[in-house]
A and B are shown apart, each in its own frame.
Chain A
C-alpha cells in the first residue's frame, strides 16, 4: 500500500477559526492532490501540486490555500472555516506519468466538522 498519512483524521471546529490538514507521503511521488467528498457530488478537486512550491487551483478552491515546502508534505489550510466546508477531505498522490498516469493513491481521509 502507498504510504500516505493524513492528520488529523477527525476535527471539530467553530466557524471563523483557521484549520490546517496535513498530508504526508513516503513514496516520493511528484503529484499531490486535495479532494473533498460530499454526498451527491462525488470527489471534487480543491488544489493540486506538481512539485515543491508548485501548486495550482482545482475546481473548488475558494476559501482554501495550500503549501508544499517538501516533497513529502502537502498542507491544506482553511483560513477562516465556514459550515459549507464541513466535509471529508482526501489527499491523493500520483506519479503522474507513463503507464501509471492517472492512477491515484488515497489517504484514509480527514473528517472536518465546522459548527
Chain B
C-alpha cells in the first residue's frame, strides 16, 4: 500500500534560518502530493500541493518539488519566522476504489526560536 515517511522531530531552528523537512513516499500509482500545516490547537490546513512529476508547489514562502525519480517531496523555506512554528504533514492522494485516499506522514514539529 501507499506510505509516507518523514522525520517526527522536533526540528529547532533560529529565526531566519533555512528549513528543509524531508518527505519520501511509496505509491503504486501516480499520486498527488501535499504539505499540510497544523498550528497549535487547530486542525490541519493545506499549505501547498503538486499533482505531477516536476511540479513545484509554493505558498507563503514555502516550496516543494515533486521528484518522481527519488520519490520525494521535500519542504523548504529560505528564512523561517517564529510564526512558522507548527507541525508539518506530508501527504499523498491516490484513487483507491471509490474514493480519493489520502495517506499522511507522522508529522514533523518545527520550533523556531527568536
Contacts and interface: CB of A to CB of B under 8 A. Distances in A.
Interface in A71-115: 90, 92, 94, 96-97, 99, 101-109
Contacts, number: 65
A92 B46 CA distance: 12
Centre residue among B8, B44, B45, B89 by max chain A CB count within 10 A: B44
A113 B11 CA distance: 28
Interface of B: 8, 31-32, 34, 36, 41-46, 49, 51, 89, 91-95, 98-102, 104-107
A71 B32 CA distance: 26
A31 B100 contact: yes
A103 B106 contact: no
A27 interface: no
Contact of A42 (B32, B42, B51, B105): B105
Determine the main DSSP class of B at the interface with A: strand
Given A94-B100, A108-B42, A108-B43, A40 B8 contact: yes
A109 B43 CA distance: 6
A40 B100 contact: no
Given A50-B99, A56-B99, A90 B43 contact: yes
B99 A96 contact: yes
A34 interface: no
Nearest to B107: A42
B25 to A, nearest CB: 13
Contacts of B101: 45
B105 A103 contact: no
Given A40-B8, A40-B106, A42-B89, A50 B43 contact: no
